[in-house]
Amino acid sequence: MKPFFDRGPSLPLRLFIALLCSVGLITLDHYTDSSVQLRSYLTATVSPLFYLANMPQDMVFGASEQFMSQQKLIEENSRLKDTLLLQNGQLQRLQFLQQENDKLRALLGTSPVTEGQRLIAEVLAVYSHPFSHQIVLNKGSKDGVTNGQPIIDDLGVLGQVVSVGPSSSRALLIADNTHAMSVRVERTGLSAVAEGIGQSDALRLIHLPHSTDVEVGDRLLTSGLDGVFPEGYPVAQVIKVQRDARQPFLQVLAEPYAKLDRIRYALLVWPHRGTSQVDPQILEEMTPPEQGQD
């Protein structure tokens, strides 16, 4: 029988070294700022693995599209055309309202709200770990993605980008424990902070006094006060208000509009020009992908 551990340090010493390294890493990642850069490099390094892990799913989806019957395709096509027509109609109205709004704002002497650019990104991985609600997107710094950039989908706000590699980036979802954002109750205009609690179907509104006017069914929109999310995007709907006098604050839970556990595509939003942290040069260099429809 071969003698085990005949070379190198003994087992407890190895464990000690490994634990020391782990604690060092934790400290480096959690308590210093250098980790953002480090994370970006690491994300870039492992991104081929995500492409690999995604292959079976892509193949299944690809095959199902391949074998879809012509009848179904025609139906889907006509349905999509109808939607497009409807939405284009609404857009015309929106454009008119936008102009009117700009004029009114000009009359009031405030700066006009400009629409930022958008970019569609595919989700490479949705994090399975219950302690971290994050997704990896297939767009990176090559596409002009920057740290802190908000991402949304067709239903509501998803989260924000936290680390960027050259061709992939990682975004923190609003449901993550470490995420909090500023929201406004649509009905009353009240500002609050919505914090993730690690469940994909619930956010918590924190530090609201008992006298606050919040009801079940209230819509929560981004307030724009946090300087990350542009104003006016839907975030969540209040599903539970508990007035318990023993608690220091009101207990309010809200359900995000976006289906955070089944994201396939996400929309990267560049915040309004002027107030954004995005380098304006990048914005100019980028060719707007959806200019034809705007």
Partner 1 sequence: MQNSWRFLYIHLTLLLALLLNVMPLPAAVKLFRPDWPLLVLCYWVLALPHRTNIGTAFMLGFLVDVMVGTVLGVNAFGYSVICFVVAANHLKIRNFSVLQQSLLVGLLLALYHLVVFWLSHFLTGVYFRAAYLWPVLTGMIVWPYIFWFLRRTRRQFKIQ
The binding site for partner 1 (CB under 8 A) comprises 2, 4-6, 11-12, 14-15, 17-19, 21-26, 28-30, 35, 38-39, 42-43, 45-46, 49-50, 52-54, 56-57, 125-132, 134, 170, 177-178, 197-200, 261-262
Question: Tokens 């019957």 belong to which residue?
Answer: 69
The C-alpha atoms of residue 202 and residue 238 are separated, in whole angstroms, by 9
Q: How far is the CB of 103 from partner 1 (least distance, A)?
A: 46
Q: How far is the CB of 129 from partner 1 (least distance, A)?
A: 4
- Asked if 158 and 263 touch (Cβ cutoff 8 Å), the reply is yes
| Cβ neighbours around 51 below 10 Å, total | 14
Distance of CA 47 to the CA centre of its chain: 19
The C-alpha atoms of residue 203 and residue 258 are separated, in whole angstroms, by 12
Q: How far is the CB of 30 from partner 1 (least distance, A)?
A: 5
Nearest residue (CB) to partner 1, 112 versus 198: 198
CA-wise closest residue to 79 among 89, 69, 71: 71
Residue 121 host element (H or E):
strand 118-126
Q: How far is the CB of 123 from partner 1 (least distance, A)?
A: 8
- Asked if 227 and 238 touch (Cβ cutoff 8 Å), the reply is no
Nearest residue (CB) to partner 1, 44 versus 152: 44
Residues 6+ apart with CB under 8 A from 251: 204, 240, 241, 242, 243, 244
Nearest residue (CB) to partner 1, 39 versus 219: 39
The C-alpha atoms of residue 274 and residue 279 are separated, in whole angstroms, by 10
The sign of the dihedral angle between the CA atoms of 174, 178, 184, 186 is positive
Nearest residue (CB) to partner 1, 174 versus 221: 174
Q: How far is the CB of 162 from partner 1 (least distance, A)?
A: 9
Nearest residue (CB) to partner 1, 59 versus 91: 59
Q: What are phi and psi of 172, to 5 degrees?
A: -90, 130
Q: How far is the CB of 78 from partner 1 (least distance, A)?
A: 29
The C-alpha atoms of residue 142 and residue 146 are separated, in whole angstroms, by 10
How, if at all, do strands 219-222 and 234-242 pair? antiparallel
Q: How far is the CB of 205 from partner 1 (least distance, A)?
A: 16
Nearest residue (CB) to partner 1, 170 versus 184: 170
Nearest residue (CB) to partner 1, 141 versus 177: 177
The C-alpha atoms of residue 275 and residue 231 are separated, in whole angstroms, by 12
Nearest residue (CB) to partner 1, 156 versus 196: 196
Q: How far is the CB of 65 from partner 1 (least distance, A)?
A: 17
